[in-house]
Amino acid sequence: MKILVAEDEAVMRKTLEMKLQKEGYEVIVCSDGREAIGKIETEKPSMVITDIMLPYSSGLEIVRAAKAQEHKSAVLVLTALGQEKTVEEAFELGADDYMTKPFSLAELAARIKRLVANIK
Amino acid sequence: MSTPEAICTVLLHTILAVLENSTAPFFSRFMQPDYLLAAVEVLAVIFTSVAIAIYIRLYRKKRDYFFQQHIRQSIEEWLTATIINEVPARDCEVPADLTRLLKKRFARHFVIDELVNNKKNLSGLAGQNIIALYERLDLKQDSLKKMRSSYWHIKARGIQELYLMDQQDMLTAIYKNTNSDNEEIRNEAQTGIIHLTGFDGLRFLNVVSYPITEWQQLKLLEQLRLSPVSDTLADEIPVWLQSANNSVCIFALKLADEYQQYTIHDAVASCIIHPDKQVRNQAIKTLVRMAHDDTPALLIAHFDAESYSNKLTILDGLKDIATQEQASFLSDILEISQDNVIRIRAARALAHAGPKGMDQLKIKAYMQPEPFARIYQHIKAESR
């Protein structure tokens, strides 16, 4: 199972990468929205985990790009408190789930498992 | 030639003559080969110095950049592995080269920044590990130094680091800054004590004399959402509603709204006659959200005495809570008011005031097409 992580903060990106690798997933990381959209097209990940606020292209554009693909990756959006409207927009674009920062890695792993089960 | 013109001409000639006499020796002296050579030497020294300074600056910048990259590479991997470790990081072993690196101030600041950024994003065991690492690497001293700084931005940053790292023993020191004359410091300290103590932290509202900005109120409300609601909130809000600081009253009204404190409805209702227009505006909004049976009548009773913007807020509120009982009031406003914005808002409220509201508007539009036909069409289009 290939998961794409789009996160601009270096240590947070690394944390997510290591945690997901530990859970047994193949992980691709991107530090900005433009790169993420490019990798969605070339790598065709089964799942995308994206921050809402990213340089160049926002998380919403990533959701749109992920859902525009033929294989339609599952998308989990990471938001900050007070971004409820953006979450609504993300759901309208087809996002499958969201998590509000700060979140626990255990909960993230559980959400991913649930989404993976839905994909299968 | 007139006299003033003659005087000017004479003056000009005199000045030119003086200049010619005084500059001629100057130029002839400095055009000597010795002087020219010296000038060239001085210029060469200046150019060389500037070039060396630029080179040193660029060299240092490059060295700092590579040093930063080196620190990032050395620390990032270990930091991340420790954070996601399922074993608490309190007793983790710090590699010797990392301990050496952490003696450098830049490296310590880098680690603090990374820990703070991650703490904003992660909770649970990873969040606890971040705090444990912060304590294990003895980074608190750096944050304390920052908090004692005389520069406001460094001080505010220090406060933020301490509260994000759950340093409970710093509560008193942070609390002292909740009424700082600097807005950034004050905001961080207020957010900090709520972060550390939840609703108990709201006691700063008893003493704060500076305005709490709207943005800060939003931040405080967000921070409070992470804590369980206090049982004593209903006792405390009426006290804050009496505050001489209008922003405290407004924030207390928002708390009553957010946590639906029905038991203090009367205290909230008393703010409808507050001397400050913005407090009254928030009181109107809170009363509407509390949706007590008496609220429509109360708002109508104060409508005429209110400012223009508060009248609009009342009409917007009535859209949500008015019933057929308020239809005649809204109908009168439609008739009497000459202001189209008020008319539209009144019409909108009337349309929502029970099932007959729209029919009443329709009848008005039929009886008096100008302006009610247009208003009716507008409201009808909105409800589609």
ipTM of the complex: 0.88
Would you call A9 and B117 a contact, using CB atoms and an 8 Å cutoff? Answer: yes
Exposure letters B189-203 (e unless 16+ CB within 10 A, then b) = bbbbbbbbbbbebbe
Q: What is the pLDDT of residues A19-50, one digit of tens each?
A: 999 999 999 999 999 999 999 999 999 999 99
Which of B353 and A40 is assigned the larger pLDDT?
Answer: A40
Q: What is the pTM of this model?
A: 0.78
**Could you tell me which residues come within 8 angstroms of residue B205 by beta carbon, excluding any fewer than 6 positions away?**
B240, B243, B248, B251, B252
d(CA B379, CA B116): 51
State the pairing for strand pair A47-51/A103-104.
unpaired
**Which amino acid is present at A110?**
A
Using a CB-CB distance cutoff of 8 angstroms, which residues of chain A are in contact with residue B77? 14
Report how far apart, in Å, the C-alpha atoms of B327 and of each of B307, B324, B351, B360, B367 are.
22, 5, 9, 9, 17
Rounded mean pLDDT, A75-99: 90
State the pairing for strand pair A47-51/A74-79.
parallel
Would you call A103 and B81 a contact, using CB atoms and an 8 Å cutoff? Answer: no
Using a CB-CB distance cutoff of 8 angstroms, which residues of chain A are in contact with residue B195? none
**Could you tell me which residues come within 8 angstroms of residue B143 by beta carbon, excluding any fewer than 6 positions away?**
B112, B158, B161, B162, B165, B167
Q: A3 with A47: CB under 8 angstroms?
A: yes
d(CA B315, CA B321): 10
Is B2's pLDDT higher than 60?
Answer: no
Query: B221 to chain A: nearest residue by CA?
Result: A82
DSSP string, B208-260: --SPPPHHHHHHHHHHHTTSPPPTTHHHHHHHHHT-SSHHHHHHHHHHHHHTT
Residue A120's pLDDT is 67
Q: B172 with B204: CB under 8 angstroms?
A: no
Per the structure, the count of domains in chain A is: 1
Q: What is the pLDDT of residues B240-265, one digit of tens each?
A: 999 999 999 999 999 999 999 999 99
3-state secondary structure B114-125: HHHHHHHHEEHH
Q: What is the pLDDT of residues B298-340, one digit of tens each?
A: 999 999 999 999 999 999 999 999 888 888 899 899 888 889 8
**Could you tell me which residues come within 8 angstroms of residue B113 by beta carbon, excluding any fewer than 6 positions away?**
none
Using a CB-CB distance cutoff of 8 angstroms, which residues of chain B are in contact with residue A82? 218, 222
Query: Nearest C-alpha of chain B: how many angstroms from A35?
Result: 22
Would you call B84 and A107 a contact, using CB atoms and an 8 Å cutoff? Answer: no
**Could you tell me which residues come within 8 angstroms of residue B220 by beta carbon, excluding any fewer than 6 positions away?**
B190, B191, B194, B212, B251
CA-atom Rg of chain B in angstroms: 35
CATH number at residue A12: 3.40.50.2300
B24 pLDDT tier (thresholds 50, 70, 90):
low
Kindly state whether A113 is in contact with chain B, defined as any CB-CB distance less than 8 angstroms: no
Q: What is the pLDDT of residues B280-307, one digit of tens each?
A: 999 999 999 998 889 999 999 999 999 9
DSSP-derived 3-state class of residue B295: helix
**Structure tokens that stand for A25 in this block:** 């997933």
Kindly state whether A110 is in contact with chain B, defined as any CB-CB distance less than 8 angstroms: no
Report how far apart, in Å, the C-alpha atoms of B359 and of each of B298, B311, B342, B365, B379 are.
26, 24, 19, 10, 12
B89 pLDDT tier (thresholds 50, 70, 90):
low
Report how far apart, in Å, the C-alpha atoms of B220 and of each of B187, B200, B201, B212, B334 are.
9, 13, 10, 10, 40
DSSP string, B56-108: HHHHHHHHHHHHHHHHHHHHHHHHHHHHH-SS-GGGPPPPHHHHHHTTSHHHH
3-state secondary structure A39-57: HHHHHCCCEEEEECCCCCC
Query: B110 to chain A: nearest residue by CA?
Result: A11
Residue B22's pLDDT is 67
**Structure tokens that stand for B190 in this block:** 């207020």
Q: From its phi and psi, is residue A16 left (phi > 0), alpha (psi between -120 and 50) or beta?
A: alpha
Would you call B124 and A101 a contact, using CB atoms and an 8 Å cutoff? Answer: no
Is B87's pLDDT higher than 80?
Answer: no
